[in-house]
Amino acid sequence: RFTTDMKDAIDSSDIVFIAVGTPIRDDGSVDVQSVLNAASDIARHMKSYKTIVIKSTVPVGTGRQVKTVLQEVLSSRHVDIPFDVVSNPEFLREGSAVQDFLHPDRIVIGSESEHTLQIMKDVYRLNEVPFVEISIETAEMIKYASNAFLAMKITFMNELANVCENVGANVQQVAQAMGMDKRISPLFLNPGPGIGGSCFPKDVRTLAQTARVHGNPMQLMEAVIKANEWQKTKMVEKITHVLGRDLHGKTLAILGVTFKANTDDMREAPSLVILPELAKLGATLKVSDPQGQKEGSVRFKDIEKQLSWHNDIYEAIKHSDATIILTEWDQFKAIDFSQYESLNAKKVLFDLRNLYRKEKLEELGFIYHGVGV
């Protein structure tokens, strides 16, 4: 059942999950105050033993902080109520959260006792997947390490794609061959306009900041941060290299503004860098995104005079001087290119997600520019 009554929720539960936001500060550190506030609220209302489970992505050491807060609040109440704190990070992808929850690769449980470990196993008893049983600190680190590694892998492919363009190699074919190596795997080998979203960029910065604070700077993570921002700028250069730096009088069809398909999330999206830069150069932008208009209307407020929204992708393409694919929505994977002439649209395609084959588009008379092909 759903309730907005915290006291009632805590009274009627044995296990309490903390799943609140953990925004990042300018220096890369994470603001865990919402997590600590939640712990304080739990301690104010609990009357019997509780297992408190941290689902939020939090820096290493937060579990200990939560334990301290719980103890302090209980002491202020002059009660001695037992509890346990568990770190159980989530690995859900936006747009695939339900599927990922039902079919996880592993379930990470950071706990201090066999008792709480068994409680968590009972919670997930229907999931026939491996349990990773470790300390709270190790569980907290696993989430950051996993996301940072995937971000590094994508960033490597982005940089490799740029070199492939310089030397005449095809990054997709390179990635395919690389992925056949079991040590590498074919996942996360697709280059693009840069990493976005609420997890990868934030977690890379937090891991880098944590390393700096402890006197062990992670040069690789620092490089990933810089390379990812540079990749977004590189996409603007790719476009202006073909269309010129003066885009006054140019109309560009923008397909996709969310950081990935199947979500309305625009946090850290490449479009937040690319579209303002194109507008600054004078371009008129006709944008189509199945879920991005509501958030995009706010995010692109400063360039709204040069931007229009279109539910129909062909309305966005109509009279355009070039089409730019920024997000890999299914709708953008099945464009009817035969309509370009009737739409009076120029056959110039910047496929920044490599959704199409260069050879096929060139056969149709298009000037095609992908990433690394």
At 107-121, the pLDDT tens digits run 999 999 999 999 999
pLDDT score, position 98? 83
For residues 161-167, average pLDDT? 97
List pLDDT tens digits, range 62-92: 999 999 999 999 999 999 999 999 999 998 8
* pLDDT at 126 > cutoff 80: no
* pLDDT at 18 > cutoff 80: yes
pTM above 0.75, yes or no: yes
Q: What separation in angstroms does the CA of 285 have from each of 247, 260, 306, 319?
A: 11, 19, 6, 11
Report the catalytic residues.
199
* pLDDT at 311 > cutoff 80: yes
For residues 2-13, average pLDDT? 92
List pLDDT tens digits, range 177-235: 999 999 999 999 999 999 999 889 999 999 999 999 999 999 999 999 999 999 999 99
Q: Which structural domains are found in the chain, ordered by start?
A: 6-134 (3.40.50.720), 136-373 (3.40.50.720)
* pLDDT at 166 > cutoff 80: yes
List pLDDT tens digits, range 29-52: 899 999 999 999 999 999 999 999
pLDDT score, position 339? 97
For residues 287-310, average pLDDT? 98
Where would I find the H helices in the chain?
6-11, 33-45, 62-76, 97-102, 114-123, 136-167, 171-179, 200-213, 219-243, 271-280, 293-299, 313-317, 358-363
pLDDT score, position 100? 80
Residues 6+ apart with CB under 8 A from 57: 22, 30, 89, 90, 143, 144, 199, 203
List pLDDT tens digits, range 320-349: 999 999 999 999 999 999 999 999 999 999
CB hemisphere CA count around 327 (13 angstroms): 30
